Structure 1
Amino acid sequence: MHDTIPVDEIMVEDVVTAPPDATATDAATLLRDEGVSSVLVARDGEPVGIVTEGDFATQLCERQDLGHVELSAVMSTPLTTVESTASIVDAVELLRSSDIEHLPVVDGGDDNSELVGIITTTELTYYVPHLAHAPSRLEAAPTHRQVRTDTKYERDDWEFEYRSADESTISAGDIARFSKPITDDDVEAFADVTGDTNRLHLEDAYAAETRFGKRIVHGVLANGLISAALARLPGLTIYLSQESSFRAPLSIGDRATAVCEIVEDLGRSKYRVETVVLDGDDTTVLEGSAVVLIDDLPAMATHEGDAAATGSPD
């Protein structure tokens, strides 16, 4: 639905502008008097740059004589713009990819564009809050919580459960479950980090022509949830081996759950683990087995856990 709403339906039409030879003082006065957060710099009606409240904060840190400096020297350029006929989804993606919060709206091509409005994250928040506020460059990722001694941080949309007669030790029959949503950002980040940029995972049109009919999560990314579950077993988990068979594709946006059951104590702190990853409908995505070595946590982690439990900083 949102990709059918054009930008010109929600843009602000009364754009505050100033010429390139106006001073920073002129622009600051416009910001104050007009109650806006940006001034478009336009030459003969064509937008060539922008000055925002953030730009003023940055420039004030670097210049002592900012007031008399011309806008051409401090404006952000080249200017990222969006066509008035583009969808608001396109606008969100432009804001994200360009790491900006103000997007001038134009009619016409690059060589003959006319400024007709401006759209910001504020307008997008009103109309499409779940798009404008999705985890992206526009805002911080989900909050990290440091609640365990064996992991650096946790997130609110991650879930972990450990079923054991004694949660401080490991024995056959123990089960660990780790669950998280696999987002589009996860898939793109995994592709970039590993170099696995198979278009099946990254391009909708391409994936639509495959047997899957849509983009799917990398199989190895799904397999990584097993590592996440094992990392939260009592002690310091060290992978020794992993065998996996892929049974079904995992859809992007689905919530995946890794289930790891300790099935055998191999001695010398080694354990055999049966592993399964399920999608949101409890369909088995992959299954296999692993062998892990469980060492004691480093003394530093144990000390930090004791301090957290007592509320002591030392």
Structure 2
Amino acid sequence: MHDTIPVAEIMIEDVVTVSPDATATEAATLLRDERVSSVVVVRDGEPVGIVTEGDFVAHLCDRTDLGRLEVRELMSTPLTTIESTASIVDAVELCRSADVEHLPVVSSDDTDDTADLSGIVTTIELSYYVPQLAHRAAESRERPPRRQVRTDTLYERDDWEFEYRGEDETTVSVGDVARFAKTISEDDVEAFAEVTGDTNRVHLDAAYAAETRFGERIVHGVLANGLISAALARLPGLTIYLSQESSFRAPLSIGEHATAVCEIAEDLGRAKYRIETTVTDGDGTVVLEGDAVVLVDDLPPMAAREGDATPAR
């Protein structure tokens, strides 16, 4: 669960640094020799800027005297940093909001106002835990009108909720959204454990779970992920899973009303689509997010005929 993992656990501690009065050539040599993508600029032990490979490329296009410049003229400042105690979820959000790929990690000293450099974390390290970071679109999409469509499911239950937003109820297209929600009960968790064999006590034993970092029993992560499959089943056509990348950002408590949201983000051609997937709890906290790739086939002839005779739900 990523909101319980501090940045300090995944950061690179051996940070390559350079002084502000070093030359660009010296900084570039460090990048090459140390095989890193950035150097942190440090003055009197405190990080004040950063120079990345991208900075060198940008300046190289405009300057012929790049090698003789001092690093202070190239570095990005003010520097965006993150506390070592912050979670990796916080780091992901900071990378997105600040539009950066390198986050120096600092530890504050209570005796003064300085922040000591502890390490560095980049989108590469974060992508091991949050793989969809590379795919996340920065811009928000205009939502198509809400529309209820016929689904290719055998049955529905009264305590399940689902909806589909799309321009055309017979096909899928970029921007369409499917949602599925249900309360995950204790019976659900116990049945999942029995069927799969995943009898980890953190899901089944209240006394045991109380002594873990979660403080209570939690839903299996893969069970929460199954809600995404349920939402995808409510897209028009026959939806076939090809792949799924998921990052578990927070625990899901038993008894929570969980909602899976699947938004078609990219048409990959040949009836394949990349879909951004999210599961939230009853308070709207994101417990899981990721990307899926699906193949959407036409419905079998029998299902298509039944659809013509059955009112849309």
User: How does the TM-score come out when normalised to structure 1?
Assistant: 0.51
Q: Does 1:156 align with 2:158?
A: yes
Match of 2:263 in 1: 261
Match of 1:28 in 2: none
Once residues 230 and 309 of structure 1 are traced to their aligned partners in structure 2, the CA distance between those partners, rounded to angstroms, is 20
Q: Does the CA contact (< 8 Å) of 1:168 and 1:234 recur in 2?
A: yes
Once residues 149 and 273 of structure 1 are traced to their aligned partners in structure 2, the CA distance between those partners, rounded to angstroms, is 18
Q: Does the CA contact (< 8 Å) of 1:169 and 1:234 recur in 2?
A: yes
2:275 to 253, 262, 273: 273
Q: Does 1:166 align with 2:171?
A: no
Match of 1:214 in 2: 216
1:291 to 282, 293, 297: 293
Q: Could you tell me which amino acid in structure 2 is paired with residue 215 of structure 1?
A: R
Once residues 282 and 191 of structure 1 are traced to their aligned partners in structure 2, the CA distance between those partners, rounded to angstroms, is 26
2:243 to 226, 241, 244: 241
2:207 to 202, 205, 216: 205
Q: Could you tell me which amino acid in structure 1 is paired with residue 212 of structure 2?
A: T
Rg larger in 1 or in 2?
Answer: 1
Q: Using the aligned pairs only, state the percent identity.
A: 80
Deviation track 1:233-273 (CA, whole Å, cap 9, x = no partner) reads: 00000000000000000000000000111010111000000
Aligned residues: 164
Match of 1:300 in 2: 302
Match of 1:183 in 2: 185
Deviation track 1:71-126 (CA, whole Å, cap 9, x = no partner) reads: xxxxxxxxxxxxxxxxxxxxxxxxxxxxxxxxxxxxxxxxxxxxxxxxxxxxxxxx
Deviation track 1:179-218 (CA, whole Å, cap 9, x = no partner) reads: 0000000000000000000010001111111111100000
List alignment gaps of at least 5 residues for structure 2.
Answer: 1-148
Distance 1:267 1:212, change over 3 A: same
1:193 to 187, 192, 195: 195
Question: CA offset at residue 177 of structure 1?
Answer: 0.8
Q: Could you tell me which amino acid in structure 2 is paired with residue 286 of structure 1?
A: L
Once residues 149 and 216 of structure 1 are traced to their aligned partners in structure 2, the CA distance between those partners, rounded to angstroms, is 31
Question: CA offset at residue 306 of structure 1?
Answer: 1.9
SS of corresponding position for 1:190: helix
SS of corresponding position for 2:274: strand
List alignment gaps of at least 5 residues for structure 1.
Answer: 1-146
Once residues 177 and 258 of structure 2 are traced to their aligned partners in structure 1, the CA distance between those partners, rounded to angstroms, is 16
Once residues 153 and 167 of structure 2 are traced to their aligned partners in structure 1, the CA distance between those partners, rounded to angstroms, is 22
Once residues 267 and 220 of structure 2 are traced to their aligned partners in structure 1, the CA distance between those partners, rounded to angstroms, is 31
Q: Does the CA contact (< 8 Å) of 1:149 and 1:302 recur in 2?
A: no
Q: Does the CA contact (< 8 Å) of 1:235 and 1:295 recur in 2?
A: yes
Q: Trace 1:1-314 onto structure 2 (pairs within 5 A).
A: 148-309=150-311
Once residues 224 and 153 of structure 1 are traced to their aligned partners in structure 2, the CA distance between those partners, rounded to angstroms, is 17
The range that moved more, 149-158 or 240-249, is 149-158
Q: Does the CA contact (< 8 Å) of 1:260 and 1:275 recur in 2?
A: yes
Match of 1:47 in 2: none
Once residues 308 and 267 of structure 2 are traced to their aligned partners in structure 1, the CA distance between those partners, rounded to angstroms, is 28
Using CA pairs under 8 Å that are at least 6 residues apart, name the structure with larger relative contact order, 1 or 2. Answer: 2
Q: Could you tell me which amino acid in structure 2 is paired with residue 288 of structure 1?
A: G
Once residues 187 and 218 of structure 2 are traced to their aligned partners in structure 1, the CA distance between those partners, rounded to angstroms, is 13
Once residues 269 and 148 of structure 1 are traced to their aligned partners in structure 2, the CA distance between those partners, rounded to angstroms, is 19
Question: CA offset at residue 308 of structure 1?
Answer: 2.5
Once residues 262 and 307 of structure 1 are traced to their aligned partners in structure 2, the CA distance between those partners, rounded to angstroms, is 28
Once residues 181 and 259 of structure 2 are traced to their aligned partners in structure 1, the CA distance between those partners, rounded to angstroms, is 4
Once residues 209 and 180 of structure 1 are traced to their aligned partners in structure 2, the CA distance between those partners, rounded to angstroms, is 28
Question: CA offset at residue 307 of structure 1?
Answer: 2.6
Q: Could you tell me which amino acid in structure 2 is paired with residue 151 of structure 1?
A: T
Once residues 215 and 248 of structure 1 are traced to their aligned partners in structure 2, the CA distance between those partners, rounded to angstroms, is 13
Q: Does the CA contact (< 8 Å) of 2:217 and 2:253 recur in 1?
A: yes
SS of corresponding position for 2:152: coil
Q: Could you tell me which amino acid in structure 2 is paired with residue 211 of structure 1?
A: R
Deviation track 1:138-163 (CA, whole Å, cap 9, x = no partner) reads: xxxxxxxxx95510110001111111
